[in-house]
Amino acid sequence: MSSSSASSGPVSAPVPRPASDGPSSGGDTARTVPAQAPSVEARSAPAARPAAEAGRTASDEVRYARPCVTELRLAAFARHRRARFRLGAVTLFAGASGSGKSSALRAYEALARLAGGARLGEVFADPVACVPQGALPDAQRRRGFRIGCTADGPGGPVRLDVAVQAEPELRIVGERLSAGGVVLLETALRDPGRRTVQAGWYTGGSTPVTRAPLPDDRLGTALLPLRVAGRTDGQRQVLAAAEQMVVALRSVFACDPQPDWMGVPVPTGSGRLLAGCDNLADVLWRTREECGRRHALLVAALSAGSAAPVVDLRAETLADGTVRALIDRADGSRTELARLGYGELRYVALALVLLTGPGVLDVDPVGEVPAAMQTLTLLADGLDRGLDPRQRGELLRLAVRMAERGHIRCVGTVGDGHWAARTEGVTVVDLGP
Tens of pLDDT along 162-219?
999 999 999 999 999 999 989 999 999 999 899 999 999 998 777 788 999 999 999 9
| Cα 286–chain centre separation | 27
Helix, strand, or coil (residue 215): strand
Triad 190, 191, 194: Cα angle to 5°: 130
Beta pairing, strands 426-430 & 90-94:
parallel
Question: What pLDDT score was predicted for residue 89?
Answer: 95
- What mean pLDDT do residues 372-400 have? 92
Question: What pLDDT score was predicted for residue 363?
Answer: 75
Q: CATH classification of 253-430, choosing from 3.30.70.1450, 3.40.30.10, 1.20.120.160, 3.40.50.300?
A: 3.40.50.300
Identify the bridge partners of residue 301 per DSSP, sorted by sequence position: none
pLDDT of 35 strictly over 70? no
Give CA–CA dist 198/189, Å, rounded: 6
- What mean pLDDT do residues 339-345 have? 92
Give, to the nearest 10 degrees, the angle between helix 342-355 and helix 280-290: 40
Identify the sign of the CA torsion 360, 157, 174, 162: positive
> pLDDT tens for residues 65-95?
889 999 999 999 999 999 999 999 999 999 9
- What mean pLDDT do residues 154-162 have? 95
Residue 307 DSSP class: S
Q: Using an 8 Å Cβ cutoff, are 135 and 12 in contact?
A: no
Instruction: Give me the residue spans of the domains in the chain.
Output: 3-43+62-87+117-248, 253-430
Q: Using an 8 Å Cβ cutoff, are 175 and 23 in contact?
A: yes
Question: What pLDDT score was predicted for residue 263?
Answer: 84
Pure H helices in 291-387:
292-304, 342-355
pLDDT averaged over the chain? Answer: 83
Question: What pLDDT score was predicted for residue 16?
Answer: 32
Give CA–CA dist 400/397, Å, rounded: 5
Cβ neighbours, 10 Å, residue 77: 26
| DSSP states of 172-195 | EEEEEEEETTEEEEEEE---TTSS
pTM of the model: 0.84
